[in-house]
Structure 1
Amino acid sequence: MVLHLSYFFLFRSTDYSYSDYYSYNEDSAAPCSNENVRDFGQVFLPTLYSMVFIVGFIGNGLVAYVLIKYRHRSNMTDMCLLNLAMSDLMFLFSLPFWAHYAAMNQWIFGNFMCKAVTSFYMLGFYGSVFFMILMTMDRYVVIVHAHASLFSQHHSAKAGMAVAAFMCMWLLSLMASLPTMIFSEEKKELNESTCKPEYPPDTYWRQFSYIELNILGLILPLSIMVFCYSQIIPTLYHMRSQKKQKAIRLIMVLIIVFFVFWTPYNVVTFLFLLHHTGHLRSCEWQQNLNLSMQWVQTIALSHCCLNPIIYAFVGQKFRRLVVKALKQSFPGCFNKCKMLTTELSERRSSVNSRSSEKSTTSIMQLQ
């Protein structure tokens, strides 16, 4: 089975547009049927993508709005979180197109949009990885080496270095995404239009794409983060600053959630690499990999919805900024809510007062 969009077009693990994808034939063996996986994906994936898009767009849009609105108060961590939200929004932009593609089994948006949507997905994925690495390295320098930040020189120098670091992360994301972005194209096949990477024959680009994902998407960031936090956590035990501990807690939660949600997908991707290179070629392995990819897709896609929730529950500063932004944007709604809350409070006090009076009267009568 060939994972046509290599590793990132998640729903194409059930790429039922192509007979070779679902008809395994080795030494004239009987075809390997994946009809159950195909039917499941055609119904399940568009629904999932739609839900993730709605929830993720609202949450990440709110994060981006708040951090841009109060950017004059932002520190390095806030700017990384802003870029992280932008990465998630880029990723989410592609989901309606993939939802339609999965439901209709037909790409109708043309070659330009095929490359554009592919680019947004890839840049969003690698952007999330690299900005988490940047946040980790910044916290490592702040805490372990007792500097204010990687960018804590004079204000102008600090701003310039921060912009340079962000540009570098986006450039790295672009470079990591380029192979798939270049080879992705719309193609007419059996009266159907598809959007997938068309790798040159007799090359190793497909294997490279699998290996690149595993290295840049899991092994490299995990190695850096394990090293940094193995130094950060012992140092925190000797600190009494609640502010620093809360910042570290937020970043650690983001990183842990990222790896919990994306590691299964990386593992299954590695198994697809083995399958493509001639290992795990049995029909049973093919069916199991198809079905496994459906479930790890579900886990991985849901990650886009969680970052804003983590900000809200872990970041006290962010909660205050959200409330302030909503008050300024919707003052009428907040005034009505405040009046309703006051009215309910007054009614509750009045009821309690009358209840207290009745109780007192009853006691007096008993006496």
Structure 2
Amino acid sequence: MSEGNNTPYDYSSYYDEGADYPPTNFSDVKDFSQVFLTTLYSLVFALGFIGNGLVVYVVVKYRNQSNLTDICLFNLALSDLLFVFTLPFYSHYARVGQWTFGDFMCRLLSGSHQTGFFSSIFFMVVMTLDRYVIIVHAHRVTRYRTMRAAIILTMLIWMLSMFVSLPDFIFTQEIQEKSQKTRCYYLEESKVWERYNLFTTNVLGLVIPLLVMVGCYSRIIPTLVNMRTSKKHRIVKLIICIVVAFFLLWAPYNISRFLKFLQEKGKIPRNDTWDKNLRVSVVVTEAFAYTHCCLNPIIYAFVGQKFMRRALKLLKNFVPGIRNLPDSSFRRSSVISKSSEVTSTYIM
């Protein structure tokens, strides 16, 4: 875990009088990050676990009726669950200012955190491309959207995510500092992988997914507007929410990390005020970026009428208060031809 990779920053290093930056009193930054990160990580863990856990449960319960969209939704939820399971450990790390879980957990959690992050992004990209081909090239690709293709695609994405995250499994480890604090960090001779992580997180985690979303949805929206479906305006709003939420939550974090990198390389002047503001910016934008895993179930699942019907049917067996809730609110009107396929793809 380091200032250059996508796992939560090694905040303990911010408060040491190291040789990488002049002695500055960061006690106020430390106090802020301890409270802020502990609170946000705990909240993200709770909401992310509940939301994504429900998605996994619903898809597994109705696995006999699954299609490619359901498979991607299931794996997106698994990715987010893998991601949020690491947050309690990093919450403790930020709170006490040192790593206390040992070398094996350092490597495992760093790699798992990265794998969950990249697989979540990759499955969102796949869902975007799937919607694009279904709407814009429906007649050409329908026969290829089979369960076998979904399984193969899923395996490839998980393998790619683990491959991209491999340096975190290998090169992060528990390190004893001169200050007697234990950190989960890259070895000094492995610092090249910090740049690798900065590059992959910015390019594979933000730039390419954002370009794919903007490119695909800019073609999808005009096609939807010309379709005979009563739900086209709702679908367009959903598309806008997907792109805007992704950009607003992840872009500030990536920009803050890139500015921190430029500062370390001497491209940006260093002074106490700028240094403190940049460190606080990294802390805040990172925590809010991680809330995206809580929004994924809402954006991709709970807005879908098919999913909501299934979820409510299951919840009625466990939550007495919603047993009398009518199902008519979630009935989908039938739409013929291509519009029906588009509606079923978005309003799942």
Aligned pair partner of 1:102 in 94, 98, 101: 94
Give the corresponding residue for 1:59.
51
RMSD of Structure 2 on Structure 1 (CA): 2.6
Normalising by structure 1, what TM-score? 0.80
Residues 303-318 of structure 1: pairs in structure 2 closer than 5 A: 303-311=292-300, 313-318=302-307
Residue 13 of structure 1 deviates from its aligned partner by 4.6
Does structure 2 retain, via aligned residues, the 8 Å contact 1:53–1:96?
A: yes
Question: Given the alignment, which residue of 43, 62, 72 partners 2:64?
Answer: 72
- Residue of structure 1 in register with 2:156 after alignment: 168
Give unmatched runs, 5+ long, in structure 1: 26-30, 342-367
Distance 1:252 1:135 in 2: 15
State the Cα deviation string for residues 165-217 of structure 1 (Å, max 9, x = none). Answer: 1111112211221223321111112322211222526x633222212211111
Q: 1:337, 1:89 → 2: CA distance?
A: 26
> 5+ residue gaps in structure 2?
326-348
Q: Tell me whether 278-287 or 85-94 shows the greater mean CA deviation.
A: 278-287
SS of 1:147's equivalent in the other structure is helix
Match of 1:346 in 2: none
Report the equivalent of 1:84.
Answer: 76
- Equivalent of residue 24 in structure 1, options 21, 31, 44: 21
Moved more, 72-81 or 60-69: 72-81
Kept in 2, the 8 Å contact 1:246–1:315? The answer is no
2:290 counterpart SS class:
helix
Structure 2 letter corresponding to 1:256 = V
- CA distance in structure 1 between the aligned counterparts of 2:13 and 2:141, rounded to whole angstroms: 46
- Cα displacement string for residues 17-39 of structure 1 (whole angstroms, at most 9, x for unaligned residues): 63228x723xxxxx333221111
Does the Cα contact within 8 Å between 2:10 and 2:183 map onto a contact in 1? no
Fraction of identical pairs, as percent: 45
SS in 2 for 1:187: strand
Residues 225-274 of structure 1 deviation map (CA, whole Å, 9 limit, x = unaligned): 22111211111122124578766755653343222211110111111221
State the partner residue of 2:268. Answer: 280
How many angstroms does 1:114 deviate by?
A: 0.7
Where 2:227 maps in the other structure, the secondary structure is: coil
Aligned-residue offset at 1:75: 2.2
Aligned pairs (5 A) from 1:133-212: 133-147=125-139, 149=141, 152-153=143-144, 158-189=146-177, 190-200=179-189, 204-212=192-200
Contact 1:111 1:186 in 2 (8 A): yes
Task: Please say if 1:10 is aligned against 2:8.
Answer: yes
1:270-326 deviation per Cα after TM superposition (whole angstroms, max 9, x unaligned): 112212222224123322210111221232122222222334652111110101112
Q: How many residues align?
A: 324
Q: Are the equivalent residues in 1 in contact too, given 2:3–2:9 (CA < 8 A)? A: no
Distance across 2 between alignment mates of 1:81 and 1:117: 23
